[in-house]
């Protein structure tokens, strides 16, 4: 048995090679019992994920707000972003390949610049988000999947964020205090950073969604 599949985590259904199979089958069974175990599993899963999605090119942060911490039982969490998961503005994403489709308007930071972004998280458990806890999410790469990166922008505190599309008309605000706090959470990570939501997440349906703020936009088409 390889080193990736050894240890207590493997005995509890957290085998990273089972995670790889679950990319298609959506049936991963991993349920870490504590933070240390979840981090160990994430590290091993990330090595396997590189074979599928390419090298790690950045990091994301999630479950930073009090509401999300209550919903999932803990947080915050961080997870890797992979080369093949970073998509250009206007990219298409297949809904049928997602466990429980969700889209999150976010801020992306790379090479000293901020960009609008729409994250499309996913889980390999094949479950609804309300069936998962924070340790399960942490082990599963913090639900890392795809990020559509939009236009570069100059952020201004309090600036309005608008998101529109089929069945969606959302308004949010740029909160620089929160964004800077999330940068601090990721200060030891290398590469580009996904810094958290700036408007409410939503469940997409087929069609085009547009995020607008600060003179820029990010666009994704769900098919």
- What are the sequence ranges of the domains in the chain? 54-222
Q: What share of the chain in percent tops pLDDT 70?
A: 95
Report the range of poorest mean pLDDT among 10-14, 63-67, 115-119.
Answer: 10-14
Q: Report residue 65's pLDDT band, with 50, 70 and 90 as the boundaries.
A: confident
Q: Is the pLDDT of residue 4 over 90?
A: no
Tell me: the pLDDT tens digits for 149-160? Answer: 999 999 999 999
Tell me what percent of the chain is helix, strand and coil, each rounded to the nearest 5.
30, 35, 35
The domain 54-222 is placed in CATH, from the list 3.90.850.10, 2.40.50.140, 3.40.1160.10, 3.90.600.10, at 3.90.850.10
Q: What is the pTM assigned to this prediction? A: 0.92
Q: Which residues contact 186 (CB under 8 A, 6 or more apart)?
A: 59, 61, 78, 193, 195
């Amino acid at each position: 048995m390889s080193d990736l599949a050894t240890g207590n985590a493997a005995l509890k259904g957290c085998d990273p090679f089972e995670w790889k199979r679950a990319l298609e089958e959506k049936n991963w069974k991993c349920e870490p019992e504590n933070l240390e175990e979840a981090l160990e599993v994430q590290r091993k899963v990330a090595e396997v994920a590189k074979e599928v999605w390419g090298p790690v090119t950045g990091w994301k942060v999630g479950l930073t707000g009090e509401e999300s911490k209550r919903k999932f039982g803990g947080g915050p969490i961080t997870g890797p972003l992979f080369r093949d998961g970073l998509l250009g503005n206007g990219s298409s994403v297949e809904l049928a390949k997602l466990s429980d489709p969700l889209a999150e308007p976010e801020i992306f930071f790379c090479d000293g610049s901020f960009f609008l972004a729409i994250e499309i998280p996913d889980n390999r458990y094949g479950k609804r988000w309300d069936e998962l806890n924070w340790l399960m999410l942490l082990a599963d790469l913090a639900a890392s999947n795809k990020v559509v990166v939009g236009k570069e922008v100059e952020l201004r505190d309090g600036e309005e964020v608008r998101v529109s599309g089929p069945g969606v008309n959302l308004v949010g605000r740029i909160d620089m205090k929160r964004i800077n706090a999330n940068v601090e959470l990721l200060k030891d990570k290398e590469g580009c950073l996904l810094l958290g939501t700036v408007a409410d997440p939503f469940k997409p349906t087929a069609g085009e969604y547009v995020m607008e703020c600060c003179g820029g936009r990010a666009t994704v088409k769900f098919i």
